[in-house]
Each structure stands twice: as structure tokens, then as C-alpha cells.
Amino acid sequence: MVFFFQNIINALQWGSFYALIALGYSMVYSILMLFNFAHGDIFMVGAYIGFGVATGFLALTSAGIIILPNWLILVLTILFSMFLTSLVGMLVERIGYRPLRDAPRASAAITGLMIGIILETGNLALLGAQRVSFPGLVESATYNLGGIYVTNKKIMIVVVSLALMLALDQFIRRTKWGMAIRAMAFDYLAVPLMGVSINTIARMTFAIGSALAAVAGILFGTAYPVLDPYMGILFGWKAFVAAILGGRGSIMGACLAGFLLGFIEIFVAMIFPSTLRDIIAYSIILIILTFRPHGFFGQPYSARLRL
């Protein structure tokens, strides 16, 4: 029993990362009908920017210029990193995707891959090959709840992720800009007829998605403090799977699918020999997609073949 609940905690934490990154993927997919394959690398960029900002603040604190408690540094790191990474996201949209808005979808997909590679190798060139260690801003405290071990970091990750997802949900459903974003998912040609520029919506979508990926990056850096330039690739692909599982047009669906993916991975490893984890986990997902090809909450749509 304890074993089971321990794994639930593990899965919640691990699924949070997939959910946050899948959100960004799904938003761009739903609204702009394109897969931003560079999104996993934006997650990596967010983690590295967070590393830079946190190290900077820590250096300022130890030099005595501004004294900040660690928790405040963490909050500031998250805010700064969200802002800076959303700028990176908007830059990617401007340079990579906007010129290709009317091009075949395959070209846009390839652009995403190329931008991803540029981000990875750019990081490699800038910071070298050595691993960087994310500064420990949170004192690790482990709580023993009747045999289940929970660290404060795990709690923080799950709470922050859920809070952000709730905030995003409220934004999409209750604000005017949220309505514009939803409208574009339905019919993107009608939106400019209503007086809202596609460019603005596209920029906003990328900014929000990148900001979420940045938070995921910093949370990841807090839990798994070893960063490397290629850390985003695997997450990018898995978040892509989660976005498809969630369905087009449903942002909360991607979030749910992200958690589901985390649960499947952790529980498969719990039940079966861990060597078979990935085979079984992805076979399960394949079976799910066979029965629900549009994902859980996806709206079936007719379209000219769009990627």
C-alpha cells in the first residue's frame, strides 16, 4: 500500500513536467496548427536561463550587494526566466514560423527541428560540453508520512504546476484574449475579420507556451540538478505524444495526458521489470490512440492535410 502511494507521489511529480511542456505544445498545435518541435529545446533554454539568473542573484547576495533570501531568489528566477524565455519563444515564432505561415506544414515542422538543433548546438558552443549544476535554492526536507517519503521539492513542483495550469485555464476561459485564442483554434481565418490580428495571437501563444516551459525547466533543475544541452529532446518528444493524446483544441486535455504519461511510465516500471518500461508504456499509448485517434478531448476536424 505504501509502495503504491509512494509511486503515486512519484508519478504526480514526474507527470507535472510532461504536463507543463505539453501545454505549450498543445497550445501552438491547437491554435496555429503546427508542431513546434523546438519546444523541448525552449524547455532547455528556460532551464539554462534560470540557472544563469539564479547564479547571478546568488553571486550578488554573496558579494553583499543585495541580500536576498533563497526563496525570494527562486521566485525572482522563475519570473525573470518566464519573461526571458517567452522572449526567446516569440523570437522563434518571428524568425522561424511567421515567414512560413502559408507554406506546407512539413516545411514548418522541419523549421522547428532545425531551430531546435540550433538552440542545442548554440548552447554547446556558448557554454561548452560540461554539465552545469543547478544551484540548490531549496533546502531539501524529506517528510516521512507513514512510510511514504515526500520531499518539499516534489510538493512544490506539483503545487506550482497545478497552480499554473489553473491560471492558464482561467485565462483561456474568462478573458477576452483567451476567447480570441479559442476562436482561432476554431477558425483561424475568421479571427482577423473580427479585428484581432493573427500575429498578435501567434506571439501570445508562443509567449505563454514558452513561459510555461521555462517554469518546467526551473522546476526540473531544482529536482534534477544536472543540466545538459540535450536535455530537452526527450521531453520534447514525450510532450508531443502527450499533446496528441490530449487532442487538438483541448488545452486541459494535453495537461491531463501529460500526467497520464507520467503515471503510465512510473506504474509500468513498478509492475513490470524496468527493462521493459518504455516498450510497454508506449504500446499502451499506441493502443489508446488506436481507439481514440483524435485524443481524449480532441474535436474531429476536417482539413486539408495538415501535419
Partner 1 sequence: MRKGYVFVVLCVAVGLAFAPPAWSKTKPIVIGINAPITGDIPKVGEGTKFAAQMWLEDVKAAGGLAIGGKKYPVELVIEDNEAKAESAVKVATKMITEDEILVMVGPQASKQAVPAGEVANNYNTPMITPWSTNPNTTKDRPYVFRACFLDPFQGPVVANFIKEEYEFKKAAVLYDVASDYPKGLAEFFKKAWEDINGPGSVAAFESFTTKDTDFSSQLTKIKQSGAEFIFTPQYYNEVALIVQQARELGFKAPIVGSDSWGSAETVKLCGEACYGLFFSTHYAAAGAKGDTKKFIDRYNQKYGYVPDDVAALTWDAMRLVEAALTNCGKITGDIEKDRRCLRDALAKVKDFDGITGKMTFTEEGDPIKCAVVVRISEKGEFEFYKSVCP
* Interface residue list for partner 1 (CB under 8 A): 3, 6-7, 10, 13-14, 124, 128-131, 133, 140, 142, 144, 149, 151, 153, 224-226, 228, 230-231, 234, 265-267, 269-270, 273-275, 277-278
Which residue, chain included where needed, has cell 525570494?
A: 72
DSSP classification of residue 93 = I
Q: How far is the CB of 21 from partner 1 (least distance, A)?
A: 14
Cβ atoms of 267 and 7 within 8 Å: the answer is yes
**Shortest Cβ 275–partner 1 spacing (Å):** 5
Nearer to partner 1, 147 or 293 (CB): 147
Residue 101 is given by DSSP the state T
Q: Indicate the DSSP class of residue 95.
A: I
Least Å distance between CB 212 and partner 1?
Answer: 19
For 2, the enclosing helix (H) or strand (E) is: helix 2-32
Q: Which one, 40 or 298, has the nearer CB to partner 1?
A: 40
CB of 10 to partner 1, least distance (A): 4
Q: 149 forms bridges with which residues in the sheet?
A: 144
Nearer to partner 1 by Cβ, of 13 and 85: the residue is 13
* 8-state DSSP, 305: S
Smallest distance, Å, CB 62 to partner 1? Answer: 18
The CA-based angle 29-35-38, given to 5 degrees, is 125
CA distance 10 to 13: 5
Please give the single-letter amino acid code of residue 265. E
> Judged by CB, which is closer to partner 1: 67, or 279?
279
Provide, rounded to whole angstroms, the least separation between the CB of residue 257 and partner 1: 18
- 103 or 234: CB nearest partner 1: 234
CB of residue 56 vs partner 1: minimum separation in angstroms?
20
| DSSP codes of every residue in 245-262 | HH-TT-HHHHHHHHHHHH
Closer residue to partner 1, CB minimum distance, 29 or 267: 267
Q: Which is nearer to partner 1, 112 or 262 (CB)?
A: 262
Strand positions, DSSP E, the chain: 132-133, 142-145, 148-151, 226-227
Which sign does the torsion angle of CA 142, 143, 149, 154 carry?
negative
Contact present, 168 and 208 (Cβ < 8 Å): yes
Q: Are 167 and 160 in contact (CB under 8 A)?
A: no
